[in-house]
Amino acid sequence: MNSKNLLTALAASSLLLISAPTFAQETREFSVSTVLSDAFPWGQAAVKWAELVEERSEGRMKLTIYPNAQLVSGDQTREFSAMRSGIIDMAVASTINWSPQVPELNLFSLPFLMPDEAAIDAITQGEAGQAIFEAIEKRGVIPLAWGENGFRELSNSRGAISQPADLKGLKVRVVGSPLFLDTFNTLGANPTQMSWADAQPALTTGAVDGQENPLSVFDVARIDQVGQKHLTLWRYMADPLVFGVNQRVWNSLSTEDQTLLKEAAIEAGAWEIAKSRAELVETLERIKERGVEVTELTPEQHAAFVDATESVYEKWVPRIGQDLFNKAKAAVDAR
């Protein structure tokens, strides 16, 4: 080899040595869908996950968050289908919104199944929670961890609610779930399914009397400003969140990156659950300071609502799965 060719070969080798590490560190970006922004604990869970993943992967993986169900044009009940088909890579999602495609998730919407946070944990961290994760995975999404949107409380513009009879004829905005319709119809209310964008003007004009949402949503979204001056703490159902990944995306990751992604999700979920629960007392105080009348049910009043919604179980437990329900109920009773 003459000197000119030798110099050319050495230059080429140097370029390869320089470019190889750069290529190895190329960032892979993934979309993450959420319904709420980081003004809410739900969105904060996604942000925490993204931060942990980017830090621990040293920039190799970047999770880009799309709040307000942007990737499905605001139709949050389409999120699971879009994720399964690959339109969405990942999500921090509501069990309610995924329940049309994963019937087992309706377990969490059964009225008054979970009276406290310990009951939520008993289900999600036990055999029932594992069975639900298996049901999600069978439908093309890999569940990694649990988060929490919290107990959904009832507000309205008409007056205090402390017994089932107080709901008679009450026009209540509910999310897009048939189980929610059955629960409120059973209680004598007049439930209406609508998006939150449509609900706000309906509440303002009085076309709708009430709504149900976690305290964090009531607080941050200032629901008291749309005529909701009466709030009942009845804890009729809770909404765990699921950190999930599209199956094809998951399979494209190395074992190391799968472990990293899952461990970061578990940590972010635990962080968000602890944070949101710790803030509940302060959140409720802010709501009261804005002039909202808060009704806390006595054990006897709570029991009356439980008795009034028994028929919902007769219809929905067979759809959810008797075995799954039995596992959940046993876990709650043993908590």
* Residue environment code for 283-308, b if the CB has 16+ CB neighbours within 10 A, otherwise e: bbeebeeeebebbebeeebbeebeeb
Q: What local confidence, expressed as pLDDT, does residue 213 receive?
A: 97
Residue type, 27: T
pLDDT in tens, 198-241: 899 999 999 999 999 999 999 999 999 999 999 999 999 999 99
Q: What local confidence, expressed as pLDDT, does residue 82 receive?
A: 97
Mean pLDDT of 11-29: 56
The beta strand positions in the chain, using DSSP E, are 28-33, 61-66, 90-94, 141-156, 171-174, 190-193, 210-214, 230-233, 238-246, 293-296
Question: Residue 205 in contact with residue 234, Cβ under 8 Å?
Answer: no
Domain 28-333 bears CATH identifier 1.10.3080.10: no
Tokens for 168, please give them.
């008679």
Cα–Cα distance measured from residue 273 to residue 255, given in angstroms and rounded to the nearest whole number: 27
Question: Residue 331 in contact with residue 128, Cβ under 8 Å?
Answer: yes
Mean pLDDT of 44-48: 98
Statement: residue 8 has pLDDT above 70:
no
Statement: residue 262 has pLDDT above 70:
yes
Statement: residue 157 has pLDDT above 70:
yes
Cα–Cα distance measured from residue 176 to residue 141, given in angstroms and rounded to the nearest whole number: 21
| Lowest pLDDT segment from 69-78, 105-114, 139-148 | 69-78
Mean pLDDT of 60-84: 95
Statement: residue 24 has pLDDT above 60:
no
CA distances (Å), 256 to each of 106, 142, 235, 247, in order?
Answer: 33, 16, 40, 16
